[in-house]
Structure 1
Amino acid sequence: MTALPDWMRPPRAEGWFAEDLDRLPEAPRHTELIDGALVFMMSPQRVWHARVVSALYTALTNQAPEGVEVDREVTIRLDKRNRPEPDVVVTTAPVDPDRTWFAPEDVLLAVEVTSPESEHRDRTVKLRKYAEAGVRHYWLIEEAEEVNRPVAHVYELDEPTSTYVPVGIFRGKLELSVPFQIAVDLDSLFRAKS
Structure 2
Amino acid sequence: MTGLPDWMHPPRAEGWFAEDLDRLPEAPRHTEPIDGALVFRMSPQRAWHSRLVSTLRQTLAAQAPEGFEVDQEMTIRLDKHNRPEPDVLETSAAYDPDRTYFTPDEVRLVVEVVSPESAHRDRTVKLRKYAEAGIPHYWRIEDESGSPAVHAYELDEPTRAYVAAGIHRGMLRRPVPFDIDLSGLIPRR
TM-score range, shorter chain: over 0.9
Equivalence for 1:189? 186
Q: Are the aligned partners of 2:137 and 2:153 in contact in 1 as well (CA < 8 Å)?
A: yes
Any runs of at least 4 consecutive aligned residues in structure 1 with deviations exceeding 6 A, and if so which? none
The two structures have a TM-score, normalised by structure 1, of 0.95
Give me the whole-angstrom Cα distance separating, in 2, the residues matched to 1:191 and 1:170.
Answer: 14
Equivalence for 2:63? 63
Aligned partner of 1:5: which letter?
P
Equivalence for 2:86? 86
Give me the whole-angstrom Cα distance separating, in 2, the residues matched to 1:180 and 1:67.
Answer: 11
**Is residue 2:46 matched to residue 1:49?**
no
Equivalence for 1:155? 153
Report the 3-state secondary structure (helix = DSSP H, G, I; strand = E; otherwise coil) of the residue aligned with 1:122.
helix
Report the 3-state secondary structure (helix = DSSP H, G, I; strand = E; otherwise coil) of the residue aligned with 1:15.
coil
Aligned partner of 2:33: which letter?
L
CA RMSD in angstroms, aligned pairs only: 1.0
Q: Are the aligned partners of 2:57 and 2:71 in contact in 1 as well (CA < 8 Å)?
A: yes
What displacement does 1:188 show?
Answer: 3.4
Q: Structure 2 unaligned runs (5+)? A: none
Give me the whole-angstrom Cα distance separating, in 1, the residues matched to 2:10 and 2:43.
Answer: 23
Equivalence for 1:166? 164
What displacement does 1:148 show?
Answer: 1.3
Give me the whole-angstrom Cα distance separating, in 2, the residues matched to 1:48 and 1:114.
Answer: 11
Give me the whole-angstrom Cα distance separating, in 2, the residues matched to 1:188 and 1:74.
Answer: 23
| Seq. identity, % | 69
Give me the whole-angstrom Cα distance separating, in 1, the residues matched to 2:16 and 2:39.
Answer: 11
Equivalence for 2:11? 11
What displacement does 1:191 show?
Answer: 5.5
Report the 3-state secondary structure (helix = DSSP H, G, I; strand = E; otherwise coil) of the residue aligned with 1:188.
coil
Q: Are the aligned partners of 2:171 and 2:185 in contact in 1 as well (CA < 8 Å)?
A: no
Query: Once the two structures are superposed, what CA deviation does each residue of 1:136-187 show, in whole Å capped at 9, x if it has no partner?
Result: 000000111xx210000000000000000000000011001000000003x6
Q: Structure 1 unaligned runs (5+)? A: none
Query: Once the two structures are superposed, what CA deviation does each residue of 1:22-81 show, in whole Å capped at 9, x if it has no partner?
Result: 000000000001000000001111101000100100110010000000000000000000
Report the number of matched residues: 189
